[in-house]
Amino acid sequence: MIKTLALWLILLSGFLIPYGNIATAQGPFFEEHIYATVGGTPLWLDFLPEFGNDPEPEPLIIFVHGGAWMNGNRQSVPGPILNLRAQGYSIATLDYRLTTQAGQFGSEPVIWPAQRDDAKAAIRWLRAHAADLNVDPNAFVIWGTSAGGHIAASVALTNDAPGTTGLIGDWTDVSSAVQLGVNYYGPSDILRLDQDVTTPPGSTLNHEAAGSPESLLLGFAQTGLSMGEILAHENDDSAPWFDLVSLAHDASPLFAVTPPHAAPIFIAHGTLDTVIAFQQGEKLHTELVSLGLSSTWHPVPGAGHGMPPSVFEETGAWIMEQWSDAEFIRGDANMDIQKDIADVVSILNTLFPRTGSGTEPSCSNSQDVNDDDTLDISDPVFLLTWLFGGAQQIPQPTQSCGSDPTSGFLDCETYNACP
């Protein structure tokens, strides 16, 4: 037992060795970049290119550190994530405003949604510089632990939804969306962190207390009002409670999720977590499934506020699986190996479902006839034009089953007409 415990301590301590202290013989280990300036203070990210010098643009993992929104820094990245560089992934890791840094960004706030705004500004910077960094702008994964998991979930489940993107940085006209999200043991319902605790395992924190990390995130330093007081007034429409409750809901992925913009997400949580209750991850997954969204739930029996190496491996496999779409024929919306007026009807049924009959297509790519990574009225119009002699050609794959040559938000989970 003692040997096993010692081994775990060695493994876990190795997870968060700052990579800036690690020497490498495989070329430049990381680059430092300012992705935005807030109140005169720069915000930094580090870019760690994949090993191998592949000329093709690589997928990018954007790591967000934890630390209760109060501490931590961008160089503390779990070792198993750094190891993904050898599998063809580039990595970016970012600093963001912390609730303990009031006054360090001029008059700019350090409470929510500053953290989400900063993360999305970093994503915009990375996408705007994708060609220089040799990363695929349509293959971004945001991955965080604890408070970083909360930020990652908040970003992935809102993406470019109006009112969630912020105005930080010089690239506000660039998309701040990611294609996948990974949330390790992050809170999902800020107000009910204590209510979701079960005994065992119990909790080492009183989240509702004055000065708790969550109270600070919601502005306790300015208002003197704790998270517990905000929860007690959740149904009070008077000032200041209405605004504080709205802020708490916006800071809770469970409430802030915006289905049309949400990316697929992987949620992992230890059953013996005494910092963030296990139920926080479980109920986020349940809510996402009820909304018809793509959520993969990975409870980890016996784990606390951390993850064993095997979960990192399973997460990597999940990412690869998400980008291994089924083969399809573009324009064959009803999957009968031909393109005709029935396919136009099928796309229209997706766009304008009758009450109670709407379902997500199992292969959105087959209905994205013009290959603009969006399902809208232009797709049936494009197909009609092509059917009746239009000069425009349907983008590949159109003659036979094939994979999508242009990655993006849409995917193809199953396509029964192809082997």
Give the residue extent of every domain in the chain. 2-322, 325-419
Q: And the tokens for 207? A: 């989240």
Report the length, in residues, of the chain: 419
Give me the pLDDT at residue 7, please: 31
Element (H, E) at 100: none
Question: In this structure, are strands 90-94 and 58-64 parallel, antiparallel, or unpaired?
Answer: parallel
Per run of 10 residues, the mean pLDDT along the chain (length 419 residues) is 32 48 50 97 97 86 98 94 94 98 98 98 98 95 98 98 96 96 98 97 97 98 97 97 98 96 96 98 97 94 97 96 85 93 94 72 92 93 92 87 77 82
In whole angstroms, what is the distance from residue 269 CA to residue 295 CA?
13
Q: What angle do CA 91, 93, 96 make, to 5 degrees?
A: 160
Please give the backbone phi and psi of residue 34, each rounded to the nearest 5 degrees, phi first.
-90, 120
Give me the pLDDT at residue 359, please: 66
Looking at the domain covering 2-322, what would its CATH class be? alpha beta
